[in-house]
Amino acid sequence: MGIEGVNARISDIRSRIIALQTQAATPASTTTTGTGSTSGTAFAGYLNDAVATQSAPAKTYTLNSQGIPTDLAAYGNGKIPSNALQQVGATGHKLWAPAAEQLTKLIADAKKDGVTIGVTDSYRSYDEQVSLAKRKGLYSQGGLAAQPGTSEHGWGMATDLDLNAKAQSWMRANAARYGFEENVPREPWHWAFQPKT
């Protein structure tokens, strides 16, 4: 294509853009009263609206009758791909998205109260649970590990926290507001996400 052809192509594209802008501006000009807004601005607004409409609606998160995240259930306990989970702040630890959001908020709010909350463990894969059960023994045998395939950690629904005495009492006073419950008597570090529904 020579320079003539390129120029012709550019002018064709220009005229298409102008046509689009005119089209886009028409509905706006019938409803606005003499704002004198340019068609370019209207077009930008139109484009923004179109993009906003096309982006996915906010995802809704629910639990099934067994208390398992509906969007994760099909993967299986401890078999959840990393990108289906959400990181807790910048900790590198991951949980089910609503749990990650709440824990991130909880840690930030605790910090405002001068309380430091560390994350030791969160989502745990099936293989990691097998290894943990070998090292710590199963609950059923007096140990500290859930049967692989049944741990709340395997659903990204529990976190193990590094808590000093002050942080432990802060958690006991405040964690429920974020949906976290201390639900294993022998494990004051283990907090399960049990949002009120």
133 near 150, Cβ under 8 Å? no
Question: In the complex, what is the shortest distance from the CB of residue 153 to Zn ion, in angstroms, rounded to a whole number?
Answer: 6
Q: Is 145 helix (H, G, I), strand (E, B) or coil?
A: strand
Question: In the complex, what is the shortest distance from the CB of residue 160 to Zn ion, in angstroms, rounded to a whole number?
Answer: 4
Q: Is 124 a residue that touches Zn ion (CB under 5 A)?
A: no
> Which residue's beta carbon is nearest to the bound Zn ion?
190
Q: Across the strands, what pairs with 145?
A: 138
Q: Which is nearer to Zn ion, 93 or 190 (CB)?
A: 190
Which positions from 131 through 190 interact with Zn ion, judged by CB under 5 A? 160, 190
Question: In the complex, what is the shortest distance from the CB of residue 180 to Zn ion, in angstroms, rounded to a whole number?
Answer: 12
Q: Which is nearer to Zn ion, 128 or 160 (CB)?
A: 160
Q: Which is nearer to Zn ion, 42 or 93 (CB)?
A: 93
What is the sign, positive or negative, of the torsion defined by CA atoms of 136, 143, 98, 116?
Answer: negative
Question: In the complex, what is the shortest distance from the CB of residue 95 to Zn ion, in angstroms, rounded to a whole number?
Answer: 12
- Phi first, then psi: give them for residue 159, nearest 5 degrees: -135, 145
Pairing relationship of beta strands 94-95 and 86-87 according to DSSP bridges: antiparallel
Measured from the Cβ of residue 179, the count of other Cβ atoms closer than 10 Å reads: 19
Give the binding site for Zn ion (CB under 5 A): 160, 190
